[in-house]
Amino acid sequence: MSFPEVRLRRLRQSPAVRDLVRETSLQPRQLVLPMFVREGLSEPVAIGSMPGVAQHSLDSLRAAAVEAAEAGVGGVMLFGVPAVRDARGSGADDPHGILNVAAEALAAEVGDALVVQTDLCLDEFTDHGHCGVLTGDGSVDNDATLERYTSMALAQARAGSQLLGLSGMMDGQVAVIRAALDAEGFTQTLILAYAAKYASAFYGPFREAVDSQLTGDRRTYQLDPGNRREGVHEAIVDEAEGADIVMVKPAMAFLDVLREVRDTVSIPVWAYQVSGEYAMIEAAAANGWIDRRAAILESLLSIRRAGADAVLTYWATEAARWLRA
């Protein structure tokens, strides 16, 4: 009888050994919780396509942020849903607008316990649902949009946001916002650049969450799902323009891009486990087809293994509690 000369299974023989040699870990501090706050609410409203996720009132937002901090979550990313929209997204840089009011509230409530972050994009605030200012022919005007983004950035920084999530995919957005922040003295405000953000079918439930007004698509500024090199190029440019962190979005469908971006840039790389990825696992678990907890943790670990230093996930608080138990 012949025997194996190399016995690789020795490293899998017990939980203790497997823990000792595990290459990738998942910790609560590596998770960021995206949160939706809607103007005019007195109670949270459930989002039908995202079981367990809600549009928050200011009070319920504070409570959920405290729970996230107590669980050890590293940060929260805020998305505002205004009561009134217009073509310029005027509510986005209004100091009394819902996103800036929420940022100020959370900075006071949990700003010492986790990183308060705000989405910097116009799509939630425009009546056409695009991420920028439109020209007469309906296309997105890159440079006019940068002027609006700059105003948004300053409003969010003044409200107490510690990290700005530049998700609009406009050319030059990192450079112009970094310069504006520095000129106003906000030299410590972090920039997270959504570098490799793809035009994806997995954003569907998010559109319900923010009551999106979009008709058409965003393919003239978000990336073609077939392009890996282009996503890496975007990350290189954003790093050169002064981004502190770059993002790959969605996460699970673009793990190859995530790995290559991680191998290319020298700054932290995050990934966003988007609403559709969340909804698929929740739906399969609700039907009894998969083990919910195991699938959630495996999905997060896979994103970390592909190279993400942190993961935006709607399971952040729940997963953090599991990891600390």
Q: What is the pLDDT of residue 130?
A: 81
* Choice between 202 and 308, residue whose per-residue pLDDT is larger: 308
Q: How many CB atoms lie within 10 A of CB 285?
A: 17
Contact 292, 21 (CB under 8 A): no
* pLDDT surpasses 80 at 1: no
> Average pLDDT over the chain, rounded to whole?
95
For 12-15, which contacts have Cβ atoms below 8 Å and span 24 or more sequence positions? none
* pLDDT surpasses 80 at 212: no
pLDDT digits (tens, 9 = 90+) for 260-282: 999 999 999 999 999 999 999 99
At residue 215, what is the residue type?
A: T
* pLDDT surpasses 90 at 219: no
pLDDT digits (tens, 9 = 90+) for 185-208: 999 999 999 999 999 999 888 778
pTM attached to this predicted model: 0.96
pLDDT digits (tens, 9 = 90+) for 22-59: 999 999 999 999 999 999 999 999 999 999 999 999 99
* pLDDT surpasses 90 at 248: yes
* pLDDT surpasses 90 at 209: no
Q: What is the pLDDT of residue 210?
A: 79
pLDDT above 90 as % of the chain: 87
Q: What is the pLDDT of residue 218?
A: 79
pLDDT band at 215 (very low <50, low <70, confident <90, very high): confident
Distance CA(307)–CA(269), nearest Å, equals 7
The phi and psi torsions of 78 (rounded to 5 degrees) equal -95, 135
Q: What is the pLDDT of residue 169?
A: 92
Which residues form the catalytic set?
A: 197, 249
Residues contacting 183, CB < 8 A, separation 6+: none
First to last CA, the chain: 46
DSSP structure class, residue 230: H
Mean pLDDT of 163-167: 97
* pLDDT surpasses 90 at 159: yes
Domain 25-324: CATH superfamily, name plus number: Aldolase class I (3.20.20.70)
* Tokens 């819902």 -> residue: 98
* pLDDT surpasses 80 at 97: yes
Mean pLDDT of 133-143: 91
Asked whether the bond before 250 is cis by omega within 30 degrees of 0, the reply is: yes
